[in-house]
Structure 1
Amino acid sequence: MNTAPDLVMPTTIAATDPAKAAAAPRIRLSSHGFSIDHPDPELGEQLMANALGAADREAMDGILRQLVKASVSGGSPDEVNLSFMISMVKSIKPRDSIEAMLVAQMVSVHVMAMRCAHHLANAEDIAQHDSAARALGRLARTFPAQIEALNRYRSHGEPAITVQNVSVGDGGNAIVGNVTQHASVIVSDKNPASAARNAPKPSGSRRRRDSADAKRQAQP
């Protein structure tokens, strides 16, 4: 299958005007391969490259070829499946080659998971049911792991920190930003008996002074 459009153009695809990138062009499948359906072939490749997050023509062509194979239904590539997959890739907005590959895997896993769900719903015996259920379970676990990997890559490996219900008392200072120092946790004990036991005891000299003051006050 010839999957490369017959175009003569530079390898690197320049960024296009965002206003013109409202929708990625459709892919037309044929017995000879696929082609980008756009009246301006060069602009069509630019739009498709932007949609897929591809840096150059070779990357765009490779990801498209893989998505075409992943769209197979009934033994042949399916244009409806392929259009859906490209639309999902575009909506996630991959920003570099790593994200482009990961997002292509994500939409492919989703398509395969829904295909397994269809097989599970139409299983005719226990063997088919169990096989489809196992495959669906593995794919369903893979998809959120891919989402987590994409989020981790986009945040450069830094874990997300969520702070809720923060109150600052009188004279206190609130810190906004990343805090690297380990926080100390102070637990207030509201039990009076326990608070009395934990209260600091007066020193020996203070006890003697208090006792002497009490004696002087008791004398007539």
Structure 2
Amino acid sequence: MNPTAAASDRLRVAEPRAVSARLPGNIDMNTAPDVTAPTAIAAPDQAKAAALPRIKLQSHGFSLDHPDQALGEQLMANALGVTDREAMHGIIRQLVKASVSGERPDEVNLSFMISMVKSIRPRDSVEAMLVAQMVSVHVMAMRCAHHLANADDLAQHDSAARALGRLARTFPAQIETLNRYRSHGEPAITVQNVSVGDGGKAIVGNVTQHASVIVSDKSPAAARHAPKAAGSRRRPASADAKREAQA
């Protein structure tokens, strides 16, 4: 037998099988994640029924990928914080347009944006619109950061830097607006350096302090209970001293 042929046969036998290009756990940047996959905690049937439906982009629009169309629409409406089908489709259409990368909507961006909206949990239509703006601003900011990192000349660099700066300032303002709206516009009350001695009473409000009287702006009646001046306490003492001297 030819020694070279035998060695070639041995090499072919030892040759490993082809390995899949996508190993378990790897993330494909060009493929939208499957948000309908069951988690390790929930039962498979329950997770499949309750999972947020995936949005499939089509040439004429989009569709919800869920075995029960009515349930899928209800789950999506709850995640977006709206109460009816028209509002849900309107928010999704706006997110689809905001997800455009290049000249076409990006399914990966869209899945990310909807996931972020769901995690913030808008509670009504106002919050739904504000949160949709927030995630859109974030996506635009990261897009500007990408353009800034790949700028070829000074003009592109300055344009991307200005846009990124404006978007970066807008995002925390939106967070503050959302927090204020959720707290019904009630301002926070901060009390500093309050000291109350034994037997004393704290006064809530703006306080004006003079040499002998403390008066609260919000409690005019408190002036009637203010302590007497020090001079009034000294007068009886001086009268007693005179009487003792005369005796």
TM-score in terms of structure 1 length = 0.71
CA contact (8 A) 1:21 1:47 kept: no
> Residue by residue, what CA displacement relative to the aligned partner does 1:112-137 show, whole Å, maximum 9, x if unpaired?
11111111111111111111111111
Structure 2 partner of 1:109: 137
Name the structure, 1 or 2, with higher relative contact order (CA <8 Å, separation 6+).
1
Matched, 1:207 2:238: yes
Alpha-carbon distance, 1:139 to partner: 0.7
Structure 1 partner of 2:99: 71
CA distance in 2, matches of 1:83, 1:146: 21
Structure 2 partner of 1:26: 54
CA distance in 1, matches of 2:115, 2:191: 35
Q: CA separation of 1:92/1:172 partners in 2, compared to 1, >3 Å: closer, same or farther?
A: farther
Matched, 1:182 2:209: no
Q: CA separation of 1:205/1:152 partners in 2, compared to 1, >3 Å: closer, same or farther?
A: closer
Q: CA separation of 1:204/1:21 partners in 2, compared to 1, >3 Å: closer, same or farther?
A: farther
CA distance in 1, matches of 2:142, 2:168: 9
Matched, 1:41 2:69: yes
CA contact (8 A) 1:152 1:158 kept: yes
User: Between Structure 1 and Structure 2, whose CA radius of gyration is higher?
Assistant: 2
Alpha-carbon distance, 1:22 to partner: 5.5
Q: Write out aligned runs for 1:111-150 (5 A).
A: 111-150=139-178
Unaligned runs of 5+ residues in structure 1 are 1-18, 188-198
Q: CA separation of 1:34/1:131 partners in 2, compared to 1, >3 Å: closer, same or farther?
A: same
CA distance in 2, matches of 1:215, 1:66: 98
Give % identity: 77
Alpha-carbon distance, 1:184 to partner: 3.0
Q: CA separation of 1:21/1:57 partners in 2, compared to 1, >3 Å: closer, same or farther?
A: same
Alpha-carbon distance, 1:210 to partner: 2.4
Unaligned runs of 5+ residues in structure 2 are 1-46, 211-228
CA contact (8 A) 1:36 1:45 kept: yes
Quick one: which amino acid aligns to residue 200 of structure 1? A
Q: What CA RMSD, in Å, does the superposition of the two structures yield over aligned residues? A: 3.1
